[in-house]
Structure 1
Amino acid sequence: MPGAVVCFASARRRSPHRASVCIARPPLLLPSMEGSEELESSLLTQPWASVRFGESTFLAKVCFRDSGYILLISDLSSVWYESADAEAVGQRSKELNKRLTVHVSSFLNHLCNLMCPLLAGQPGATTAFSCHRSPSGLRLHVKSELSGLPFYWDFHCCPAPLEMVFRHLVRPLIQMSLALQCQVQELISLLLQKDAEIEDYRENGATLSRDRLRTEPFQEETFQQNFMAETLPRICSAGEGQAFASALQQLYTAVTQQEVKQARKPHCSEDDVDTAPTAETTKHPPSPATSQEDETTSSSERTSVVPGASPVPSIWTPSLVQELLCCKPRPSAPCWLWGLCCSPMPASMFRRSAYHPCEGIWLVYPFWV
């Protein structure tokens, strides 16, 4: 179609990550796990945190374990990551800290303790962070002390692959938007029911004891117009570093926990997928909440409690998020299109379109064929 741009993101065809990253809730020292896929699944449930280096604001999340670490950081224009095992950490520590002869696990534990307050918005007084961007990546320099001696560390981050960006940022944001929209619709329904209840009381002679408590009947259209005209501009004018306030961090965790849970369920065989009726597929697009992830399957569900992690409040429990994400699309929602040959979207276009306030969650949830 002349003048039209169609953007799709892959939700079906995926390859496993060889390295993964993420900087969120205070970094955690986790027990050793086999396979980068299981490590990334634990990273996925860590919420993003806002960090500031000089005049630049970033979103980041990190996860440490006794065999290495993985880091993901973004300025919302680019996304970078680094994954380092114990051998790489030991080699780099020898190059940067020649006077220190501690075990690799001590380096990892110290790095974890340095990143914790940074992600909590309270970097240590004796710790300095600096960030240097280049065409090939991003370097995060850390200067501190260990055992009374100077301690230096450099995170060497390279551009993150698109599939990692979609998994850790785009898909959770889309699902969070859908969950919040469903919540808003339920609240509107409750308001209308309350108005009907109040009107019934009035018709039966009930009166208010305090006139200041009187309210006008809720008008959804007026509310939406006022929100778009007044509240939305104020939200959009806030700094990008405010993208993940504490309440949204909790929702992010609940949404990603649900994705990990869904990914660990037994998958249908390829034959089952290939033999599914074409007409049925065209009419009913797969729900983002229930789509299976080829790259995140694992043999057993990890149930250990991560030390230091704050519990998710009851308002955003995984069961509630699952219920919200299973909401059926309205008939007016954009239809699901199959068979379009789409090339990968450049990062600059991706940044603009990812935050488009349309309701067409299916259109935003695309694929390449």
Structure 2
Amino acid sequence: MSEVEWRRKWKPDLKACPWQPITIGNQQFLFKCKYTHDSYELLITNNCHFWCEHLEGDELESRTISLNPNVKATPTRILDEIQNCLENPSKKTADIVKMNLNKLIIHVDSQLAGMAFVWEFKCQQADSEMISENFNIPLLAMVAELSRRNDELVKVIDAKDKEIDDYKSQGAKASRKHIETSTFVRTAFENNMIMSKEFEQEVKRLGLSGFSEDNQDLYRQIMTRYAYLTRPVAADETDEDSVNEQKTPSLNSWETSRLPASLTDKSPEKTSPGSSPRKSPAKGSSSTETSPAKDTEMMRRQALERKLEDEERKKNEPKKKKKKIAF
């Protein structure tokens, strides 16, 4: 199964949901939440402790009735409002009722269709495996990918500097002086970044601003690819390559399918009406004796086989890019 087909069938889980910043009271948190038509799974952290909650079905309905006895709404509508409370907290009021190592209770006041709506997230301590799968592994993968992209960008900038130097050597000049740039030096750039005020601000935030929209998309793409690479492989999928190999015609099959019948030595002998069957060679003649016509036919056959082999080899060889000649 190709990755495109797998993505169409795959249903993302909590691990594929990106982290988002949220402020509750005066404290900064990161959270991620996975919603279905009748459930939600929440994971939240203050970068020190991790808490989670999974609520679905009857438990979701029971809490809705106990907190909002006058509200009549479908589970889907309730979950939409819960998602709105988490992702758009500006018009909501959220307070921490209780927070310790083992429990985190968050109280939210909102409105649903003009009526007061109250919700409480009652989260328990998350286990180490859940933390690793949703936080440690993805963040390490993001750091590695961003570092790789940084190296690639440096290569692009170096190539641009060489291109600009070539233009200048031929007498080209910038039309406006303020758009001229100095040659990029990686060490100097990194030192400037460390000494900048923005670097100090990011250190104070302890990475809470690290999940911008672009980084959220990067997180989602990394975890989707990770899920594809670690997917359980079905038996029919493992045999797919071998099946394809069986379907690919071999060189021997080409001999019978593409070569003329006159070259395969397998064409039946044709006899005209009234003619006698072909007689076997005389006893004194040799069975290995060849005629000039047969030699010519054999040479044609070998030449055709070599031509077919060359065509097959050229199809399998990667196409070489033509080098552009600078004038």
Q: Which TM-score band applies after superposition, normalised by the shorter structure?
A: 0.5 to 0.7
What residue number does 2:44 align with? 73
Q: Give the 3-state SS of the residue equivalent to 1:208 in structure 2.
A: coil
Q: How does 1:82-231 map to 2 (within 5 A)?
A: 82-100=53-71, 102=72, 106-116=74-84, 118-119=86-87, 121-124=88-91, 127-131=92-96, 132-146=98-112, 150-230=116-196, 231=198
Change (3 A) 1:164 1:135: closer
Inter-partner Cα distance in structure 1 for 2:199 and 2:113: 50
Structure 1 contact 46–253 (Cα < 8 Å) conserved: yes
Inter-partner Cα distance in structure 2 for 1:88 and 1:111: 13
Q: Give the 3-state SS of the residue equivalent to 1:154 in structure 2.
A: strand
Inter-partner Cα distance in structure 2 for 1:197 and 1:147: 61
Structure 1 residue 240 displacement after superposition: 4.7
Q: How does 1:1-369 map to 2 (within 5 A)?
A: 41-100=12-71, 102=72, 106-116=74-84, 118-119=86-87, 121-124=88-91, 127-131=92-96, 132-146=98-112, 150-230=116-196, 231-238=198-205, 240-264=207-231, 266=233
Change (3 A) 1:252 1:199: same
Please tell me the residue identity of whatever aligns with 1:87. D
Please tell me the residue identity of whatever aligns with 1:112. D
Inter-partner Cα distance in structure 2 for 1:208 and 1:178: 37
Structure 2 contact 104–122 (Cα < 8 Å) conserved: yes
CA offset digits 1:104-151 (Å, max 9, x no partner): xx24522322422531x4544xx4322231342101122334566543
Structure 1 residue 211 displacement after superposition: 2.6
Structure 1 contact 74–80 (Cα < 8 Å) conserved: yes
Inter-partner Cα distance in structure 2 for 1:235 and 1:193: 30
Structure with more relative contact order (C-alpha pairs < 8 Å, separation 6 or more): 1
* Superposed structure 1 runs of 4+ greater than 3 Å apart: 97-100, 121-124, 144-151, 238-241
Inter-partner Cα distance in structure 1 for 2:209 and 2:30: 9
Inter-partner Cα distance in structure 2 for 1:80 and 1:205: 64
Inter-partner Cα distance in structure 2 for 1:137 and 1:80: 7
What residue number does 2:292 align with? none
Inter-partner Cα distance in structure 1 for 2:62 and 2:85: 26
Q: Percent identity?
A: 25
What is the TM-score of this pair, normalised by structure 1? 0.55
Structure 2 contact 40–79 (Cα < 8 Å) conserved: no
Structure 2 contact 85–110 (Cα < 8 Å) conserved: no
Inter-partner Cα distance in structure 2 for 1:260 and 1:195: 40
Larger fraction in helix? 2
Inter-partner Cα distance in structure 1 for 2:64 and 2:178: 67
Structure 1 residue 156 displacement after superposition: 1.0
Structure 1 contact 114–123 (Cα < 8 Å) conserved: no
Inter-partner Cα distance in structure 1 for 2:177 and 2:66: 74
Please tell me the residue identity of whatever aligns with 2:103. G
Structure 1 contact 64–108 (Cα < 8 Å) conserved: no
Please tell me the residue identity of whatever aligns with 1:43. L
Change (3 A) 1:149 1:221: closer
Gaps of 5+ in 2: 1-9, 236-327
Structure 1 residue 188 displacement after superposition: 0.6
Please tell me the residue identity of whatever aligns with 1:222. A
